[in-house]
Amino acid sequence: IIRQSPVSALPSLAWSLVVANFSRPLPWSVLCSRIIEDPARAVGDVDFDDHGVCVKGDPHQAALLYEALASAAALKWFVIDEPSVVAGMEKWKVAWRSTQAQQDPPSRMPWEEILNKLDISHQMEVEVGYKWPLWEVPILMSELSCVIDPKLRKSQIVHYYSGLTTGTAKLRHRIWNAKGYAVFGIGDDQFPEASGEGASDANCDFLAGLLDIVVKNQLNNQRMAGIELQTTERPNNSKRRQPTRSGKVVDFAAERAKKESRWLRR
């Protein structure tokens, strides 16, 4: 298919391959070699003015091709080193960044307020260290090795009928997974009190329940890999406390240590 497709179809084909997790090196090498033959035909001779407005070429195709090649390179399926492709990537990157501002509406939940109320260490809008920049991590919780991908609606992350993660969400989640992070895509409409007070006890309790799943999955994966957990060597999280719907305050670190102990005895 790659050899027979017109060059103009390569951006869409490349994006479909990376979303489908098609990691075999040879097809990617063939695809890149076809782009190298005439990169301008793949997306047009893309050019932008000083205000970042595309004045030449197809910015949509350029953004699609950049997203596909940068993702495949980040997943270490192949290396982008051909000078003509590198030069093209620099231009296509501008197109990709310009399309990010046109993405689906973001979450309106007061995430920092919720996480601060749970006393959970976090960072907002964190760059992931790849040569070819891709999506910033919206919310990173390093201590839990967890990323939250917040959106306004769940349907922006999961297809309504199939229940499967949508293409773009699947791709960015895979990129963050490759960095060792568990990823939760959460829509505002999943919170029990999405239309009320954002940082209510019910909403905080909902998020705490999801994070509890992260901890359990991490423990289970480590047990299956034969890694012995040393709970005494974990970071000191004694100040992190978690409110529940009943108003009772729970020591998050202590509860997690208890769960670890129970899992290790099984």
What is the full per-residue pLDDT of the chain (266 aa) written as tens digits? 788 888 888 889 999 999 999 988 888 888 888 887 776 666 666 666 666 666 666 778 888 999 999 999 999 998 888 888 888 888 888 888 888 877 777 888 999 999 999 888 999 999 887 889 999 999 999 888 889 999 988 888 887 667 777 878 889 999 999 988 888 889 998 898 877 677 888 889 988 888 887 777 765 665 555 444 333 333 344 344 444 444 444 454 555 555 444 444 44
Domain annotation covers residue 105: no
Expressed as residue numbers, the domain containing 123 is 111-265
The whole-number pLDDT of residue 103 equals 72
74 in the same domain as 29: yes
pLDDT single digits (tens) 170-189: 899 999 999 888 888 899 98
Same-domain pairing of 165 and 259:
yes
User: What pLDDT shows up at residue 258?
Assistant: 52
- Tokens standing for residue 90: 């620099």
Please identify, among 42, 69, 100, the residue that sits at the C-terminal boundary of a domain. 100
Q: Is residue 1 part of a domain?
A: no
Q: Are residues 173 and 121 in the same domain?
A: yes
**119 and 250 belong to one structural domain:** yes
- Mark whether 240 and 191 lie in a shared domain: yes
Same domain, 138 and 177: yes
Note the pLDDT tens digit of each residue in 77-86: 988 888 888 8
Domain boundary among 38, 73, 100: 100
User: What per-residue confidence (pLDDT) applies to 263?
Assistant: 42
